[in-house]
Amino acid sequence: AQKITQTQPGMFVQEKEAVTLDCTYDTSDQSYGLFWYKQPSSGEMIFLIYQGSYDEQNATEGRYSLNFQKARKSANLVISASQLGDSAMYFCAMREAPYTSGTYKYIFGTGTRLKVLA
Amino acid sequence: DGGITQSPKYLFRKEGQNVTLSCEQNLNHDAMYWYRQDPGQGLRLIYYSQIVNDFQKGDIAEGYSVSREKKESFPLTVTSAQKNPTAFYLCASSTAGGPSAQPQHFGDGTRLSIL
């Protein structure tokens, strides 16, 4: 079964420093997509970054980058120059292939709560 | 602006009562999803739908029901059979398929509590 694992329930980082949030995944599919979302305390889910399984380069979006190691099945999120507003829950997600229903399903990890310290 | 609107933001349910959570999107997305999130946990899929008048059960569908009469709308009913409904409910939408990378777009959620 496809699965997303986030082993860090909580992380602290000093403001302006970089932090890496871990994500490993398990799938037998060749084609899949990996996503990271941010969930502030208000509850909304904010899409941050995407990595496709066939993408040869690591994805980057501003201060966010994704360290994609396909052989190790890991897709770690790197946040550079942390800001106080980065304090939130972060979820790694994988898009399942549409086997029978034709609709993509998304599997989420349990999340990592990041706290940025001033 | 395009987006997903969930209402109400807060909802209280009495014992034995069915309640319906609203989800409307104007993104012209074919696929819509309902998730449940318990405190400190990830998202668990309740139901999802690719097209009008069609939907599939997710991982925790028991005690819930949905309808998809319009492309824009995907309401979720929490029935009295759901014995532990207190949670945060998130609605999402996305394009139904295709090779391009399409993230899910989420509403702001509904917090449901038992009175």
Tens digit of each residue's pLDDT (9 = 90 or more) over B55-71:
999 999 999 999 999 99
Distance CA B17, CA A20 (A): 45
- Going by pLDDT thresholds of 50, 70 and 90, the confidence category of residue B79 is very high
- A43 to chain B, any CB pair closer than 8 A? The answer is yes
Chain A environment of B108 (Cβ under 8 Å): 42-44
Q: Decide if pLDDT at B100 tops 70.
A: no
CA distance, residue A2 to nearest chain B CA (Å): 13
Strand partners, B89: B36, B110
User: In this structure, which amino acid lies at residue A86?
Assistant: D
Say which of A43, A91, A104 has its CB closest to residue B31. Answer: A104
pLDDT at B82: 87
Q: Decide if pLDDT at B107 tops 70.
A: yes
pLDDT at A102: 64
Chain B environment of A2 (Cβ under 8 Å): none
Distance CA B88, CA B39 (A): 8
% residues pLDDT > 90 (chain B):
70
DSSP 3-state of B1: coil
**How many Cβ pairs within 8 Å bridge chains A and B?**
63
User: In this structure, which amino acid lies at residue B37?
Assistant: Q
φ, ψ at A86 (rounded to 5°): -80, -10
pLDDT at A15: 97
- A104 to chain B, any CB pair closer than 8 A? The answer is yes
Instruction: With CB atoms and an 8 Å threshold, state whether B42 touches A52.
Output: no
Token pair 């990890």 in the structure block, residue: A109
Distance CA B61, CA B41 (A): 18
Determine how many CB atoms are found less than 10 A away from the CB of residue B100.
8
Instruction: With CB atoms and an 8 Å threshold, state whether B58 touches A52.
Output: no
Mean pLDDT across chain B: 91
Segment B39-66 mean pLDDT: 92
Residues of chain A with pLDDT under 50: none
Q: How many CA atoms lie within 13 A of A113 on its CB side?
A: 8
- A85 to chain B, any CB pair closer than 8 A? The answer is no
Segment B61-84 mean pLDDT: 95
- Going by pLDDT thresholds of 50, 70 and 90, the confidence category of residue B35 is very high
pLDDT at B99: 53
- A62 to chain B, any CB pair closer than 8 A? The answer is no
